[in-house]
């Protein structure tokens, strides 16, 4: 087989498709890069790694800039990842995949493909998620569920630690200041918790007996159809924090939750987790996560 001629024909056909079939440009690009990547992979096995540089020179002479050895290596790598990953789809662009294909962990690639498709992430947004080490901050149980395609819960995708922007560079952090920082960037905060969250209120007022209490943040998750109580603590997690959030969750269940909605979830965001407190907490709907200011 003349690998170079086949590669050249694939690229020429793709340029024709891009001009004639604008509605399917992305699919044409991905098919072309898959086929070209396969040819580069097979040519490399026959002629060695130096063939990449040789083909780069030839393609540049015939088509102009855009076919550097680095780009050809990316195209070959795209093919190598595509044959391993069942999640590769034309719902994402080739540029999306260029952000992912050099990860050694295939499960990490699968995760970012899944959230990019599900949340319609742009390349810039995907790049930011990767920069924030979102996958690394997922609990190990969650990663296992993703790998084994098991059913997930709303608390599975709450990152640890939760990244909060300290936009005014506060040196002393109180619960009020922590709440203020969150509210200033509430959209990104809810993304740190996962997907499909919407804001209900802050300092949400409830009445227990003759006394009024205030929930730091009350959210609702559309996908999992449940309320989410968020309590903020700037100390190490303590057992009384568990009791407090349980009271708030029970109140929401009895007074706000509709019969078709799932039970309320509780998230305690604290300066330092205490795994023993959570270990002996009998309510699996409650989780603790540390926060990190950036």
Query: How does pLDDT run along the chain (294 residues), one tens digit per residue?
Result: 789 898 989 888 887 776 665 557 788 899 999 999 999 999 999 999 999 999 999 999 999 888 999 999 999 999 999 999 988 999 999 999 999 999 999 999 999 998 999 889 999 999 999 999 999 999 888 888 877 778 889 999 999 999 999 988 999 999 999 999 999 999 999 999 998 999 999 999 999 989 999 999 999 999 999 999 999 999 999 999 999 999 999 999 999 999 999 999 999 999 988 776 776 677 889 999 999 999
Closest CA to 207 of 243, 246, 252: 252
Task: Mention every residue, 6+ apart, whose C-beta is less than 8 A from residue 77.
Answer: 37, 101, 102
State pTM to two decimals: 0.84
Task: Mention every residue, 6+ apart, whose C-beta is less than 8 A from residue 8.
Answer: 59, 62
**Beta carbons of 242 and 135 less than 8 angstroms apart:** no
Task: Mention every residue, 6+ apart, whose C-beta is less than 8 A from residue 293.
Answer: 164, 165, 166, 173, 181
Question: May I ask the CATH architecture of the domain 150-293?
Answer: 3-Layer(aba) Sandwich (3.40)
Query: What are the residues facing 163 on neighbouring strands?
Result: 292
Pairing between strand 211-221 and 162-164? unpaired
The residues spanned by each domain of the chain are 3-131, 150-293
CA distances from 77 to 34, 50, 231 (A): 9, 16, 45
103: left (phi over 0), alpha (psi -120 to 50) or beta: beta
């Amino acid at each position: 087989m003349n690998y170079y001629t086949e590669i050249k024909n694939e690229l020429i056909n793709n340029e024709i498709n891009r001009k004639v079939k604008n509605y399917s440009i992305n699919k044409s690009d991905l098919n072309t890069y898959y086929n070209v990547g396969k040819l580069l992979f097979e040519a490399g096995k026959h002629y060695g790694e130096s063939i990449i540089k040789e083909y780069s020179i030839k393609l540049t002479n015939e088509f102009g800039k855009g076919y550097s050895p680095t780009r050809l290596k990316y195209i070959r790598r795209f093919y190598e990842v595509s044959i391993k990953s069942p999640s590769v789809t034309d719902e994402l662009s080739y540029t999306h995949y260029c952000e992912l294909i050099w990860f050694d962990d295939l499960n990490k690639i699968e995760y970012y493909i899944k959230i990019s498709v599900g949340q319609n992430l742009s390349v810039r947004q995907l790049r930011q998620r990767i920069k924030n080490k979102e996958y690394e901050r997922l609990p190990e149980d969650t990663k296992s569920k993703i790998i084994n395609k098991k059913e997930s819960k709303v608390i599975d995708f709450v990152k640890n630690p939760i990244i909060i922007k300290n936009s005014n560079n506060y040196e002393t952090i109180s619960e009020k200041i922590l709440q203020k920082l969150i509210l200033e960037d509430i959209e990104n905060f809810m993304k740190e918790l996962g997907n499909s969250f919407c804001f209900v209120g802050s300092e949400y007022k409830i009445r227990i007996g003759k006394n009024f209490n205030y929930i730091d943040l009350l959210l609702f998750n559309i996908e999992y159809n449940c309320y989410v109580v968020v309590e903020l603590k700037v100390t190490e997690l303590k057992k009384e924090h568990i009791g407090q959030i349980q009271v708030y969750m029970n109140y929401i269940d009895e007074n706000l939750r509709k019969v078709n909605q799932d039970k309320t979830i509780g998230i305690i965001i604290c300066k330092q987790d205490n795994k023993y407190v959570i270990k002996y907490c009998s309510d699996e709907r409650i989780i603790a996560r540390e926060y990190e200011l950036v």
